[in-house]
A and B are shown apart, each in its own frame.
Chain A
Amino acid sequence: MRRLYGWLVGLLGVALLISVANQLFRPSPAHLTAGMTVGSALGGNTEITGYERAYAPRPFAFPADHGSHPTFRNEWWYVTGNLADPTGRQFGYQLTLFRIALAPQPPVSDSVWRTNQVYMGHFALTDVAGAQHHAFERFSRGAVGLAGVQATPFRVWLDDWALTGTETGAFPLRVRAQQDSIALDLILNTTKPIVLQGDRGLSQKSAEPGNASYYYSYTRLSAQGTVQVAEKTFQVTGTSWLDREWSTSALGPEQSGWDWFALQLDDGRDLMLYRMRHKDGSADPFSKGTLITADGQTRALSWNEMDLQPLGEWVSPRTGDRYPAQWRLRLPAESLDLTITPKVVDQEMRLTVRYWEGAVAVTGRFGDQKIGGQGYLEMTRYEKPVRR
């Protein structure tokens, strides 16, 4: 399973839309300060009846499954990566396109604008040398060709933000996004086979049947292309990670937030893991991970195999939210002892929904040897406790 954040966004559905409405029509200060957090939006619609759900593993067929599954409520195409130019100047990026269904059935189509499919896009670029983080957000309806998904030739887009594949499949995948003075144009290629997360691609979220998603990843993609920051263009290469997930799910009431890691180690291994937090601060037993070896073999990691500790605290000067400043991850069975440090401290996504997501550096030991790596980290719902 990947992107609990996205998963939750999916859950929000209409609730999120309401917060969009709040922003579009008469923004009220009260809503902007306290309201634009995941927490407040959570109170909204969690209607799941009428949608298809993920009950059992299914066969995946490509390129069709790269495309849309509109009978599920939520779906996303999530790309992150770490890049560098020939001089070693580092960048991190995220481009995510979310599909959200507002209703199980498409409405009676009297105008092509009428649709139940809505798209949200997040685009972020971290300029490590400049210690800058740029984040953008877009919304669109999935109609009139403004935003949408097609399987062949593969393309998912929102305005001119797009992931574009080829006639035969998703790769080589072109990732293009641009806003204001920030632009990204990359070609991604596979270096490892596809990873079906969870049980053959069925990622169970809680004990309740159907509370699961279909989830696959490409954990290590080669990337090359250009990054543009304030009129300057950089030729870059690096690695990327693509997550695909669709579901109709709901979080348990006791779950409060999560931390998600996508780590690429220098020895060729990749590590996906997440910790779901309970309101009392403890970790949910459904927290877990996957270890992918250099040749693409996978091993599921259960929560009791891991020791994950937040280190220190970083207080966002803009929002006051308190995030862990660093993490320590130990996997005794794999002889791994890793420290995960943000490449830039402030990679907070101050968008309609607020979270921290950014490029991280990995240092540590594999047995007796030193090991390094990099990756992406997502931390959600660290907002100040609301005093009642």
Chain B
Amino acid sequence: MTPLLWRALLRHPLHHPWQLGLSILGIALGVAVVLAVDLANASARRSFDLTMGRITGHATHQIVGGSSGIPETLYRALRVERGFRLAAPVVTGYLPQKGQPGQLLQILGIDPFAEGPFRAAAANTSDGSMNLSALIQEPDTALMPSTLGEQITLQRGNQSFTLKRAGTLDGPEMEGLLITDISTAQVLLGLPGRLSHIDLILPDGRAGARIADELRAWLPGGFRLENAQGRNQATADLSAAFSLNLTAMSLLALVVGTFLIYNATSFSVVQRRSLLGMLRALGATRGELFVGVLGEALLLGLAGVFLGGLLGLWLGSGLVNLVTRTINDLYYTVSVREFLIDPWSLLKGAALGISATLAAAWLPAREAANAPPGAALSRSYLETRWQAAVPRLALAGFTSLGGGSLILTLSDSLVSGFIGLFLLIFGCALLTPPTVVYVVRINQSLVDRLNLLTRMANRDVARHLSRTGIAVAALMVAFATTVGVGVMVDSFRGGVAIWIKDLLSADLYLAPTGTEGGNNAEVLQAVTLAALRTTPGVATVSTYRRASAELGGRPIQLIAAELAPAAQAGYRLIAGDPATAWHAFQTGESVLISEPLAYRQRLNVGNSLPLMTADGLHEFAIAGIYLDYGSEHGRILIQRSSYERYWHDADIGSAAVFAVVGENLATLRERLQERLGTLQPLMIRPNRDIQARTLEIFDRTFTITNVLRLLAILVAVVGVLSALSALQLERAREFAVLRATGMTPREIGFLVSLQTGFMGAVAGLLAFPVGLLLAAVLIFVINRRAFGWTLPYHVDPWLLLETLALAIIAALLAGLYPIWRMARTRPADALRAE
């Protein structure tokens, strides 16, 4: 290719900066969203690795226990009786800083004498700021990062602890970490006599495996020896579905962006049809033109990728907070908040952006290369080809829809769910231009009775199908995404609201203070429970104890409950006859499991569930499956007496109180606080408080989804602006002719507005069925596969109206600039320019 050819081709975009800018912005936004989500995911993962790494250190294995960790006597026995030396006790947990309940700091309690081979705490001892003697002996000392100041006050329940610095932790991976002596950590976290786990270092290979076997044989029931890396991986996997969902959402933004590039490139080819024909006549080969147009798109893509990269970095640094917060709310605590600029993410974002650009420019470039030499590739020729292509488009659309449906039904993996979803969207997008033609045809009979302008506006849409079709499709995809995600989130929220209201049917809930951070060590004392049961106004009491169990390598929650009949009614069974199920549950040999657990492990009523109890493996029968949105990894509900028998744990974590009918709850709450508060510090909360808190977390979780949805809308609106305004600008000569034949600028404005408004309306209306389809796939396929639960399908008509209004307004806005331009141009000039 000669430089001259390049210059000839590049003149066009340089003389249409408005069009050029919008195209670049489209791809930039798409890339930015993908990159931002990827960076946020990678940063969250990195933060997780750091959080785990600083805790795990060089440990290869861990001894872990039941709900309340490990008794410290087991550690003594391991070292002194068993003579196992590469072992270190760990007491760890999370506490908020006083006055900052959301910001959790990680407490790592260690025994400095056993630490040597395990963790490089990176405490700065060289400058003498490290005082090990104080750390060990004084109850209020910690090694802390310098960012926390000289002292810090932590809060657990209504107790607060002020810690002062006994040494400085250096390095970014130490943020949000406090290392204390194990004695201090036990006090801070309320774990007297307990360890969180015991770290071990075993040799590699067969020797290590032999020692591991020996240790397993030696360990008393209820304690497990686990591979540290595997355990971390299992924890990391908890949020895998969440990350995948985010990535898929971000790809949706890129898909919309790709449509925009296609639109922009094909449009620029159409605009230059005479130039391209001329170049061919002057000797440029088809290949040269193909490469030229593709190269031009590539330049566009590169600019978009660069801009998108910057934008993505900025967006990602904001997004990472949302992602880690959601992970903290739902999965595990990550107290490092690092924004990691992962070069791999940057590379992926750039590659996606550029390949999307090239893929989108492929067809227009071929179009350009096929331009017959000499003769200008006429608009009518192109449009005719498009009209002819309508049946083929429809066929491709239906094929894509069929393929998508097939993939959705044949495979049940989450990834194939997303592939199916994308194929469905693509199919709908391909069907859009034929639909537009069809709508115009139907419309024609309606508008025939109306005035000339309306008829013109209607026909024009179909005549300019090469661009209107794509523009409407892009707009439709963007708004369908909005509708689909919106319906899904609404349905989800509705389901959760009903579920939590049913589940928390008791009037008041009691828990010891200090249990907020998932801390299981604080329990309701027997005297407190006894006093509770005899308090006037209390009708019945349910008790709960939360423990952790493992099934198929995944941690699951075990809830040991003594349920009042009214509390049983709060569980909605989706499998199993309630009367039989609850009866079997009461015997203690049967359990109820949550829907996600049943889905994941393919369990059904009547199956048996082998659980590792304190006495070894025991099989429980599954009596029923209940609806639950509390944990995507599943829960097991077990009769409390049975739990006590098999796990040797008689503690009660919390209690629910059903009041006597007619009892004033505020008075009862005060009475309970008065009577029980003296026995033990308690949190007594009405059910509404907990329900509200649950929904608050839900809303927080979906903040990120809403942000992504808004970004998709933004990409769409930019696309509509660029596509529709370019379309109208291109018709300058046509409008000049109309002006010359007597049309006023006002009438032209009306014509343009009518057209763009019509396209917006078509896109908005088409977005309904596609969006509802998308919502159905998200609800019944994606959510089911990612989280294992079923959601109700609930459509809010307001959401649909909002979307339609937004589509029309965006489209009308897109017409404003061309109208303004046309009104300012004298028709004679426009005509002369040709």
Q: 8 Å CB contacts to A: which residues of B786-818?
A: none
Interface stretch among B2-10, B110-118, B609-617, B647-655? Answer: B110-118
Contact A26 B113 (CB under 8 A): no
Contact A107 B193 (CB under 8 A): no
The smallest beta-carbon distance between B110 and chain A, in angstroms, is 9
Nearest chain B residue, comparing its CB with the CB of A178: B83
Contact A111 B192 (CB under 8 A): yes
Q: 8 Å CB contacts to A: which residues of B131-159?
A: 132-133, 136-139, 143
Contact A179 B85 (CB under 8 A): yes
Q: Mark A142-164, 1 if CB is under 8 A from B, else 0.
A: 00111000000000010110000
Contact A20 B113 (CB under 8 A): yes
Is B81's CB within 8 Å of the partner chain A? yes
Contact B85 A159 (CB under 8 A): yes
Interface stretch among A86-94, A112-120, A126-134, A334-342? Answer: A112-120
Is A31's CB within 8 Å of the partner chain B? yes
The smallest beta-carbon distance between B133 and chain A, in angstroms, is 5
Across the interface, which residues of A come within 8 angstroms of B126, CB to CB?
22, 26, 28, 30-31
Contact B112 A114 (CB under 8 A): no
Is B236's CB within 8 Å of the partner chain A? no
For B122, give its contact among A25, A112, A145 (CB under 8 Å). A25
Contact A26 B76 (CB under 8 A): no
Supposing A140-B113, A141-B111 touch, asked if A113 and B138 sit within 8 A by C-beta, the answer is no
Across the interface, which residues of B come within 8 angstroms of A14, CB to CB?
133
Contact B122 A114 (CB under 8 A): no
Contact B192 A25 (CB under 8 A): no
- Measured in the bound complex, the distance between the Cα atoms of B76 and A113 in whole Å is 11
Is A84's CB within 8 Å of the partner chain B? no
Across the interface, which residues of A come within 8 angstroms of B184, CB to CB?
111
The smallest beta-carbon distance between B58 and chain A, in angstroms, is 13
Is A110's CB within 8 Å of the partner chain B? yes
- Measured in the bound complex, the distance between the Cα atoms of B696 and A41 in whole Å is 56
Is A103's CB within 8 Å of the partner chain B? yes
- Measured in the bound complex, the distance between the Cα atoms of B133 and A115 in whole Å is 10
Contact B138 A107 (CB under 8 A): yes
Contact B130 A25 (CB under 8 A): yes
Q: Mark B97-139, 1 if CB is under 8 A from A, else 0.
A: 0000000000000011111100011111110001011001111
Is A108's CB within 8 Å of the partner chain B? yes
Supposing A111-B187, A146-B79 touch, asked if A21 and B139 sit within 8 A by C-beta, the answer is no
The smallest beta-carbon distance between B119 and chain A, in angstroms, is 9
Is B183's CB within 8 Å of the partner chain A? yes
Contact B120 A25 (CB under 8 A): yes
Q: 8 Å CB contacts to B: which residues of A168-213?
A: 178-179
Supposing A25-B120, A113-B183 touch, asked if A159 and B125 sit within 8 A by C-beta, the answer is no
- Measured in the bound complex, the distance between the Cα atoms of B187 and A160 in whole Å is 28
The smallest beta-carbon distance between B114 and chain A, in angstroms, is 8
Is B72's CB within 8 Å of the partner chain A? yes
For B80, give its contact among A31, A139, A160 (CB under 8 Å). A160
Is B75's CB within 8 Å of the partner chain A? yes
Q: Mark A6-28, 1 if CB is under 8 A from B, else 0.
A: 00000000100110111111101
Contact B85 A24 (CB under 8 A): no
Of A22, A28, A45, A146, chain B has the most CB atoms within 10 Å of the CB of: A146
Of A18, A141, A179, chain B has the most CB atoms within 10 Å of the CB of: A141
Nearest chain A residue, comparing its CB with the CB of B87: A159
Is A102's CB within 8 Å of the partner chain B? yes
Q: How many of chain A's residues have a CB under 8 angstroms from any CB in B?
A: 38
The smallest beta-carbon distance between B725 and chain A, in angstroms, is 62
- Measured in the bound complex, the distance between the Cα atoms of B227 and A210 in whole Å is 54
Contact B132 A114 (CB under 8 A): no
Nearest chain A residue, comparing its CB with the CB of B117: A24
Across the interface, which residues of B come within 8 angstroms of A21, CB to CB?
112, 123, 125, 130, 132
The smallest beta-carbon distance between A191 and chain B, in angstroms, is 30
Supposing A21-B130, A102-B133, A112-B193 touch, asked if A160 and B81 sit within 8 A by C-beta, the answer is yes
A-B contact count (CB 8 A): 114
Is B367's CB within 8 Å of the partner chain A? no
- Measured in the bound complex, the distance between the Cα atoms of B23 and A250 in whole Å is 82
- Measured in the bound complex, the distance between the Cα atoms of B80 and A112 in whole Å is 17
Nearest chain A residue, comparing its CB with the CB of B132: A21
Nearest chain A residue, comparing its CB with the CB of B187: A110
- Measured in the bound complex, the distance between the Cα atoms of B137 and A338 in whole Å is 49
Contact A111 B183 (CB under 8 A): yes
For A160, give its contact among B83, B138, B143, B181 (CB under 8 Å). B83
- Measured in the bound complex, the distance between the Cα atoms of B183 and A135 in whole Å is 31
Is B458's CB within 8 Å of the partner chain A? no
Nearest chain B residue, comparing its CB with the CB of A109: B183
Is B182's CB within 8 Å of the partner chain A? yes
Contact A110 B183 (CB under 8 A): yes
Q: Mark A34-45, 1 if CB is under 8 A from B, else 0.
A: 000000000001
Q: Mark B185-200, 1 if CB is under 8 A from A, else 0.
A: 0110000110000000
Q: Mark A235-268, 1 if CB is under 8 A from B, else 0.
A: 0000000000000000000000000000000000
The smallest beta-carbon distance between B111 and chain A, in angstroms, is 7
Supposing A102-B133, A160-B83 touch, asked if A26 and B139 sit within 8 A by C-beta, the answer is no
Contact B133 A146 (CB under 8 A): no
Contact B120 A26 (CB under 8 A): yes
- Measured in the bound complex, the distance between the Cα atoms of B84 and A159 in whole Å is 8
Supposing A18-B132, A20-B132 touch, asked if A26 and B111 sit within 8 A by C-beta, the answer is no
The smallest beta-carbon distance between A311 and chain B, in angstroms, is 39
Across the interface, which residues of B come within 8 angstroms of A178, CB to CB?
83
Across the interface, which residues of B come within 8 angstroms of A113, CB to CB?
72, 111, 181-183, 186
Contact B123 A26 (CB under 8 A): yes
- Measured in the bound complex, the distance between the Cα atoms of B82 and A17 in whole Å is 27
For B116, give its contact among A18, A24, A145, A159 (CB under 8 Å). A24
Across the interface, which residues of B come within 8 angstroms of A114, CB to CB?
136-137, 139, 181, 183
Contact B112 A26 (CB under 8 A): no
The 6 closest A-B pairs by CB, nearest first: A160-B83, A111-B183, A113-B183, A114-B183, A25-B123, A21-B132
Query: Can you identify 18 A-B contacts, CB atoms within 8 angstroms?
Result: A23-B116, A25-B120, A25-B143, A26-B122, A26-B126, A30-B126, A31-B126, A103-B133, A107-B137, A107-B138, A107-B139, A111-B183, A114-B139, A114-B181, A118-B113, A144-B73, A145-B76, A157-B80
A115-B136, A116-B137, A160-B79 known; 8 new pairs, CB 8 Å cut-off, are A18-B130, A21-B130, A24-B115, A24-B121, A45-B133, A107-B137, A112-B72, A145-B80
